[in-house]
Every structure is written in structure tokens, then in C-alpha cells.
Structure 1
Amino acid sequence: MIRLARPDDRERLREIQTHLGEPNPALLAYAVDGPPVVLVSATPDGDLAGYLVALHDAETSYVAEIVVAPAYRREGRARRLLAAAFDYLRERDCARVRLSVHPANDAARRLYESMGFEESGREGEYYDDGSDAITMSREL
């Protein structure tokens, strides 16, 4: 099940966030109360398995974080989070969505490409290890 995050999800979301290579705790703390959207992937028993944070304005959205806890990976959760985000953002008249991905993250790049994202540029020295970020985007 995909739903909007609630304030009482914060602790579990912070735990899941630790599985990101470069987590941004301040962003997550801010986003749970909005205006960025935080969508969560919940298991049938109510555990949170992953989340997505997207910032948006009138036309464009940026997926700032997407992560699934290791125990729940390879179940299609990231794909469902992105699909739900597309629906949510379309309802708010966003026309385009962007994201950044580490060049070594082949699994994420394959997922994004399979969902219609195309490489749209690079940002130099974006990551802590000095790597550029691949920026990807798609129309909604």
C-alpha cells in the first residue's frame, strides 16, 4: 500500500533513510509536514518498507530521495512509489519530473529508464565521493 506519510512515521522513516548513500535528515524532517510530498510504502501489517520525497512547483517536480529498506527490496516497491508519485504530481498539474542518480547505481538507473526517464544532463562533483550526478527527467 502507498500512502502519504504521517508525523508518527518519522522514527521509522529516519531508520529507512540510513540506507541511503547520502541521506538528508533535515529534508526528511521538513518534508513529512509538507509542502514536499512524502509517500510511504507500507506492508500489510503496517510496517513501513520505503519512502519517496518529491519537491514540486507549478510545473516541475524533483524526486529528492527514494529508498526501500533492504528486507523489502526486489518487491517492486520503488516502482510503485514512483508510479504513485507520478499520479500525485499530475493531479497538482506538474508536467515534468526530474531526479539525480549516482553513475555507479546501475539498478536505480535501470528502474528509472524502465519508467520513461531519460538522461538530461550531469551535475559535476555532486556526491561526497566527488562523482558527478546523472540527471534524468521525464514528462508526466
Structure 2
Amino acid sequence: MRSTIRHGRAADAAKIRTLQAELTEPAPTLLNAALTEVDTAAATAADDTSPGISGTFRLLVSVNDTDLPVGYLLAVTGEPTHIAELVVDPQYRRNGRARALLQVLIEQCSHPITVHVAVDNTAARSLYEAVGFQRQTRSDDRFEDAAGLTLRYPAQN
């Protein structure tokens, strides 16, 4: 299955917020800031294939056949770029959408990318490791109820 990935739009906000509810530890303030930036950038974006956001965030969405977001990736840009949230609607999981979101971010990023995952979240760890992320450090203060790992792409030598 080939996932359609595009940049988030202001019109996606309600569906993205619904998807965010699937996360164990969501960051609504961060998502609101990204959606505000998307809304501001919408007037200047030429099309959905351009980076769309040249500011603080990358908001990528995986859409179904009717262009409805069924997954999203929120990253804070910088050096490194940090993945803050990645979620796919349970009905659309296990068909490559999360991997496709990661691949687009990797293609668009010229800096390393980091992500924090719970040690016991084997599905997330497997996904990130499958696309080339490697463990950098253990971070016991990243999650309220679990120990965490920081993963990095590309791995440092």
C-alpha cells in the first residue's frame, strides 16, 4: 500500500486533534503551536509538496482516499529535528503509514532526527529501528509512567 503523505493544513486541525487523543502522553500545547504556524504559513505555501513550514515545526499527515488525515507526525525543527508526536488511527495501522511519514521527514531533513520512546513500547521501537534509528541514551525522566530511550537518525559514529 502506498501512503499519501502531505503537509498538514489548517483545515486538518479537528481531525489531527482527534488523532492526538490516541497518544499516551500528548502535547496539546505543542500541537496547537504547530497548527497556528500551519495556519499562518498557509497563505504563502505554493503547494502541498513544498515544505510548507519553514519555521519551528513540520506537520506531516497521512491521508486516506478522501484526503482525510488518518495519521500525523509532528516534529520540532532544528539541529537536531525532534519528533514530538507520531500517531496513526487504529483502523489504519499496520499498513505502512507511520513508516511513510518517517521516510518523508527523513527525506526533507538535512539535520539529524531524534525521538523519545518508552522502553516498553516495542512497536514504536521496532518501527524507528526498522528505518535506521539507533539508541543513543536511556532517559528515565521523559515519560510519566515509563523509562525512555532517545533514538537518533542517522546514528552517530
> Do Structure 1 and Structure 2 share a fold, with TM-score over 0.5?
yes
In 2, distance between residues paired with 1:124 and 1:108? 17
- Equivalent position of 1:138 in the other structure: 153
Q: Residue 60 of structure 2 aligns to a residue in which SS?
A: strand
- Equivalent position of 1:71 in the other structure: 91
Identity of aligned residues (%): 36
In 1, distance between residues paired with 2:17 and 2:77? 22
In the TM superposition, residue 125 of structure 1 has moved relative to its aligned partner by 2.8
In 1, distance between residues paired with 2:129 and 2:24? 21
- Equivalent position of 2:8 in the other structure: 5
Matching residue's letter, 1:7: A
In 2, distance between residues paired with 1:19 and 1:31? 18
Q: RMSD of the alignment, in Å?
A: 1.3
In the TM superposition, residue 23 of structure 1 has moved relative to its aligned partner by 0.8
1:1-140 equivalences under 5 Å are 1-34=4-37, 35-57=56-78, 59-90=79-110, 94=111, 96-129=112-145, 131-139=146-154
In 2, distance between residues paired with 1:81 and 1:98? 14
Displaced runs of 4 or more, over 3 A? none
Between structure 1 and structure 2, the one with the greater Rg is: 2
Q: Residue 80 of structure 1 aligns to a residue in which SS?
A: helix
| TM-score, length basis structure 1 | 0.91
Structure with more of its chain in strand, by fraction: 1
Matching residue's letter, 2:16: L
In 2, distance between residues paired with 1:103 and 1:39? 25
In 2, distance between residues paired with 1:127 and 1:138? 21
